[in-house]
Amino acid sequence: MKTKWAIILTVLLAGSLVAQSKLQTNPGGYHGELDYPMSWKRYYGYDEWTKIMRELQKKYPQLADIQSIGKSRMGRDQLLLTITAKATGKPEDKRAMWVDGAIHGNEVNGITCSLYLAWYLLTRYEYDPFAHELVDSTTFYVLPGLNVDANDSYVSFPNTENNPREPYRPTDDDGDGLFDEDQTEDVDGDGELSMMYIEDPAGESKLSPDKRRFVRVADPREEVRRFRRVGAEGFDNDGDGLINEDDIGGPDPNRNFPYGWSVAEGYPYPMSEAETRNVLEFQLRRSNIFASFHYHNTGRLIMFQAPPALRPPAGQTPGSAQAGPRMQQTVQQRLEELRKTDKYAYLADRQVAPEYQHDLDVQNEIVSAGARILKDYTPTIGGLSGQAHAATYYMFGAYSYLIELWGDPAFEADVDGDGEVSDEEFMKWIDLELMGDGWVLPHKAKHPDLGEVWIGGTSRKHIGRTPPARYIETEALRNANFVMYAAGQFPKVEFGEVKVTPATDDLFWVEVEVKNDKAYPTSSDRAVALKRAVMDKITVSGAGGAAVVELPKAVTAVDALNRAASSETVSAKGTEFRLKGHETKKFCVLVRMSGAEGTVEFTVKSKMGGTALRKITLKAE
Amino acid sequence: MTHYRPNGIFRRFGLSVLAVAFTALAAGAAQKVPISFDDYHGYPATAKYLKDVAAAYPQITVLLEIGQSTMGRPIYVLVVSNMKTGTTVDAQVPLRNPRAEGVKNVTPMKPYMGKPGQWICGATHGNEYTGTEVCLYAIDKLVTGYGADKETTALVDAKTFYICPIVNPDGVFNSLDKGISQRQNSMLRDDDGDGRVNEDGPDDLNGDGLIAQFRYKDPKGGFVVDGADPRLMVRLRPNEKTEKERWSVVVEDKDNDGDKRRGEDPEAGIDLNRNFPEGWWNDQGFAGGSGDYPTSAPESRAVAEFFVTHPNIFMAQFYHTSGGFTFRPLGTAPPTRLDPKDVAVLDLVMGKKYLETIGEDVPAAWKNPAAIPALREELRKTSKNKYAIERGYELPRGWMVSYDELNDRRYGFGMTTDWDFLELGIWSITTELWNPAVDIPGLPRVAGSEGVEGDDERPEARYALDRALLKFQDEKYGGKLFLNWKPFKHPELGEGEIGGWIPRYSSNAWPGEPLVGVCDKHYRFEMFRAGLLPDVVIGEAKARLLYTSENAREATAVAAGSEVRIKKGGAKGKYRIVEVTAVVENKGPLATHTARGSTLRGNREDVVWLVGERGKVTFLQGTPYQRLGVLDGAMRIPGTGGGGAGGGMRSGGPGAPTEESMTPPPQFQRRGGPPGPTQVRQGGARREVRWLVAVEGDSPLKIVVSSQKGGTKSETVKVQ
- pLDDT one-digit tens code per residue, B466-505: 999 999 999 999 999 999 999 999 999 999 999 999 999 9
Q: Which residue has the higher pLDDT, B664 or B260?
A: B260
Cβ of B673 and A230 within 8 Å?
yes
Report the sign of the C-alpha dihedral through residues A513, A517, A519, A522, in that order.
Answer: negative
Which residue blocks in B74-129 are alpha helix, DSSP H? 89-92
B interface mutation test: which of A154, A178, A235 has the most B CBs within 10 A?
A178
What pLDDT, on the 0 to 100 scale, is given for residue A13?
A: 47
Higher pLDDT pick, B84 / B450: B84
What is the Cα A504 distance to its own chain's centre? Answer: 54
Sequence-separated (6 or more) residues with CB below 8 Å from residue B15: B476, B477, B478, B512
Smallest CA-to-CA distance from A365 within A287, A302, A292, A290 is with: A302
Per-residue pLDDT at B669 exceeds 50 = no
Q: How far apart are CA B85 and CA B681, in angstroms?
A: 30
pLDDT band at B670 (very low <50, low <70, confident <90, very high): very low
Residue numbers in A near B605 (CB within 8 A): 175
How many angstroms separate the CA of residue A228 from the nearest CA in chain B? 7
**CA–CA separation, B199 and B257 (whole Å):** 7
What digits encode the pLDDT tens for the residues B363-387?
999 999 999 999 999 999 999 999 9
B663 has a pLDDT exceeding 60: no
Which of A184, A245, A282, A286 is most worth mutating to test chain B (most B CB atoms within 10 A of its CB)? A245
> Does A70 reach chain B within 8 Å, measured CB to CB?
no
Work out the average pLDDT over A185-202: 96
Q: B105–A170: do the CB atoms touch at under 8 Å?
A: yes
Percentage of residues in chain A with pLDDT exceeding 70?
Answer: 94
Helix (H, G, I), strand (E, B) or coil at A69: strand
Mean pLDDT of B385-400: 96
Q: Could you tell me if A485 lies within 8 Å of chain B, comparing CB atoms?
A: no
pLDDT of residue B562: 83
Asked if A175 and B627 come within 8 Å (Cβ–Cβ), the reply is: yes
Q: Could you count the other beta carbons within 10 Å of the beta carbon of residue B235?
A: 14
Which percentage of chain B shows pLDDT scores above 90? 81
Q: B664 pLDDT exceeds 70?
A: no
Q: What is the pLDDT of residues B621-652, one digit of tens each?
A: 999 999 999 999 999 988 775 444 445 566 54
Would the pLDDT of A12 be above 60?
no
A327: pLDDT strictly greater than 70: no
Provide the pLDDT for residue A552.
Answer: 81
Query: Percent of chain B beyond pLDDT 70?
Result: 90
Residue among B624, B656, B662 minimizing CB distance to A240:
B624
Chain segment A134-181, per-residue pLDDT in tens? 999 999 999 999 999 999 999 999 999 999 999 999 999 999 999 999
> CB of B695 within 8 A of CB of B576?
yes
Q: Residue A146 carries which DSSP code?
A: S
Residue B461: per-residue pLDDT: 87
In the prediction, which pLDDT does A27 show? 87
Indicate if the pLDDT at residue B441 is higher than 70. yes
Decide if A200 touches B, using CB distance below 8 A. no
Tens digits of per-residue pLDDT, B145-201? 999 999 999 999 999 999 999 999 999 999 999 999 999 999 999 999 999 999 999
Collect all residues of chain B within an 8 Å Cβ-Cβ radius of residue A102.
none
Q: Which residues pair with B224 in a beta bridge?
A: B234
Quick one: pLDDT at residue B381?
96
Which residues, numbered 557 to 616 in chain A, qualify as contacts with chain B under a Cβ-Cβ cut-off of 8 Å? none
pLDDT at B3 over 60: no
Q: B508 pLDDT exceeds 80?
A: yes
Signed CA dihedral, A358, A364, A369, A374: sign only: positive
Closest CA–CA distance from residue A494 to any residue of chain B (Å)? 30
Cβ pair B97:A239 closer than 8 A: no
Quote the ipTM score.
0.94
Most confident range (mean pLDDT) of A200-204, A308-312, A406-410 is A200-204
Residues of B whose CB is below 8 A from A232: 667, 669
Give the CA count within 13 Å in the CB-facing half-sphere of B520. Answer: 12
Cα(B325)–Cα(B319) distance, rounded to whole angstroms?
11
Q: What is the pLDDT of residues A274-313, one digit of tens each?
A: 999 999 999 999 999 999 999 999 999 999 999 999 877 6
For B357, other C-beta atoms within 10 Å of its C-beta total 16
Average pLDDT, chain B: 90
Angle, vertex CA B686, rays to CA B681 and CA B687, nearest 5: 40
Q: Is the Cβ–Cβ distance between B393 and B405 less than 8 Å? A: no
pLDDT (tens digit per residue) in B208-261: 999 999 999 999 999 999 999 999 999 998 888 999 999 999 999 999 999 999
Band (pLDDT 50/70/90 cuts) for residue B445 is: confident
Of B95, B423, B619, the CB nearest to A238: B95
Which pLDDT score is estimated for B29? 55
Is the pLDDT score of B89 beyond 50? yes
Round to whole Å and give the CA distance between B212 and B501: 7
Interface membership of A185 toward B (CB under 8 Å): yes
pLDDT score at A16 = 47
- Section A353-378 average pLDDT: 96
Check residue B278 and give its pLDDT.
97
Q: What is the pLDDT of residue B649?
A: 67
Model confidence over A69-96: pLDDT tens digits? Answer: 999 999 999 999 999 999 999 999 999 9
Structure confidence at residue B460 (pLDDT): 84
Q: Does B663 contact A252 at a Cβ distance shorter than 8 Å?
A: yes
Q: CB of B469 within 8 A of CB of B451?
A: no
Over residues A482-541, the pLDDT tens digits come to: 999 999 999 999 999 999 998 888 899 999 999 999 999 999 999 999 999 999 999 999
The pLDDT mean for chain A works out to 93
- Inspect the interface and report whether the beta carbons of B624 and A241 lie closer than 8 Å: yes
Of residues A140 and B457, more confidence is placed in: A140
Confidence of residue B680 (pLDDT cuts 50, 70, 90): confident
Distance from B70 to chain A by nearest Cα, in Å?
A: 15
Record: contact B655-A238, CB cut-off 8 A: no
Specify the pLDDT at position A18.
54
* DSSP secondary structure letters along B416-471: HHHHIIIII--EEEEEEE--HHHHSTTPPP-TT-TT-TT-TT-HHHHHHHHHHHHH
Integer Rg of chain B from CA: 30
According to DSSP, the β-strands at B320-321 and B427-433 are parallel
Q: If you ran DSSP here, which 8-state letter would residue B128 be given?
A: -
**Is 0.90 surpassed by the pTM of this model?**
yes
**pLDDT score at B539:** 95
pLDDT of residue A5: 59
Q: What is the pLDDT of residue A326?
A: 60
Instruction: Report the DSSP beta bridge partners of residue A556.
Output: A567
